[in-house]
Amino acid sequence: MLTIHDIAVWDTGERIDLVIPESDAQRLLTEAGAVVSGDIDGSSLIVAPGLADPHVHFRDPGQTTKETMVSGCEAAAAGGYTRVLIMPNTLPAADGRDINVQDAVDGGEELKEVGVVNTLDYLQRYEQLHDVQLPVRYDLSVCASLGRTGKLPTRPDDYIRFMDTAGQSTNHDNGIHDNGISDTSQSPDNAVLQHPLRAITDDGSAITDEILDSVLADAKATGLPVLEHCEHHDTGAINEGTVSRKLGIAGIPAQTELTIVNRDIEAARRTGAHIHFQHVSTAGAFDAVRKAKAEGLPITCETAPHYLALCDEDILKYGTMAKMNPPLRSEADRRATVAAIADGTVDMIATDHAPHTAEEKAAGLVDAPNGIIGLECAYGVCRKVLVGSGAISDERLIELMALAPERLMGHKPTDVAMLLNTSAKCATKRILDLSKVEHPENVDLTLIDTHHQWTVDSARFHSKGRNTPFDGWKLTGRPMATIIGSKLVFSRLTVGTKG
């Protein structure tokens, strides 16, 4: 068995010994290729609920030269994530329609060959179809519009079969509270729906005015939150400002984000539907969200590590590796993003993990695709910017990267103190043996060394993507092991040394 001694519980500070079942520990190889078993000094580690990311693009099916479910899930596990939410901008788009009733759908023939009816079915059955066991839990999202064209709304009759209706909350509230959230991991349908549908989104594009009310009505009826790409522009490649003018490149005004945010806040007020704003990046949008929350509207939001760590001036250094949508904004907006984290306006942090090939990113700022990868260095980048600056505590960072995203997706994060049967410290050191806890299959944990100093090396990433501006950054703090269902699925730990 693997025993990690003297590890600290993330929120109480209690020092415990953590025991991971032998059968799982012996099968796991570390990055160095050594079998993990025996005893490890965990005095430099904390044990926390598994990180969760409600916003990833794994490009499978349709663009597997960029990423696959296998490489994406391996990247997630290496970053300390135990659950991710897959965005629906696949080929074919994950809109719930069966491919045999559509005309000339991109990627449709590939799905027919493996015997699935559509992309949601393919992703639901991925492990069975490919005879693999993926090292991370994942949920699915459905397009807001058919084919992600913005013209017609998707139909609940097409996608409700992929919802975990037995365990899924029909009253999502605002997605960040325990009230009304079911523990779907114990749903009687769990054996069938390992990867249930959890959200509606046209991520990559804002939901169009023409279908917004229909989408929100369907969201209310199904209990699914709407994840909104809160930004729209028809021209421009980078933020409108001194950098765009210096480079002679058409800019994207900050107003393009605020316009969608204001429109959707009014829609939430009108309909009562839960709208979650993705990758918010501007001071004006944060002000609007802050006021909407004060009013009690069902609004939540996320931001991403790159909007906390970078601004449009960094494009001069990193080029297309710093091109994304929405674009990196001004330094004032970056500071406003950190402030919105500090005052609680931002509910969670998501990576918007978006892999592209080196050839695509070499096309120049105007023509290169938007997006960067983020799963494998997100924790370290966020800790550097937020905890290192004193903006928030280590405990708050776990809330932003683990607790709140899990709840948005309708799950209860693992409560370490509850596993120990108390939230109070004990006079003697206790042992948390994962083979002896109730429902070990539901225990998802991340072991983090908050003091570990390391340098980002994208060449060693598990993701197929290398498109990151953080390559070469020196960071302090890194997830060192990932545990899913009480099983060790990834580790950087070495026997006989501190974590």
Return d(Cα 139, Cα 225) in angstroms, integer.
Answer: 13
Tell me the pairing of strands 51-56 and 46-49. Answer: unpaired
| Residue 39: active-site member | no
Return d(Cα 371, Cα 110) in angstroms, integer.
Answer: 26
Active-site option among 60, 139, 347, 352: 352
- For residues 157 and 164, is the Cβ–Cβ distance under 8 A? no
Let me know the angle formed at the C-alpha of 206 by 141 and 72, rounded to the nearest 5 degrees.
40
Return d(Cα 160, Cα 197) in angstroms, integer.
Answer: 8
Query: DSSP labels for 153-173?
Result: B--HHHHGGGS-TTTS-S--T
List CB contacts of 404: < 8 A, sequence separation 6 or more: 175, 176, 347, 348
Where helices occur in 357-465 by DSSP H, the ranges are: 358-361, 378-382, 394-398, 404-408, 416-419
Where helices occur in 310-384 by DSSP H, the ranges are: 315-318, 331-342, 358-361, 378-382
- 470: tokens are 């953080």
Residue 49 one-letter amino acid: P
* Sheet-wide strand order for 51-56: 51-56, 81-86, 137-142, 197-200, 226-228, 275-277, 299-303, 348-349
Query: DSSP labels for 223-267?
Result: TPPEEE-----SS-SEESSHHHHHHT--EE-THHHHHHHHHHHHH
- For residues 323 and 237, is the Cβ–Cβ distance under 8 A? yes
- For residues 97 and 68, is the Cβ–Cβ distance under 8 A? no
What pairs with residue 39 in β-bridges? 3
- 193: tokens are 């729906």
Q: Which residues are catalytic?
A: 352
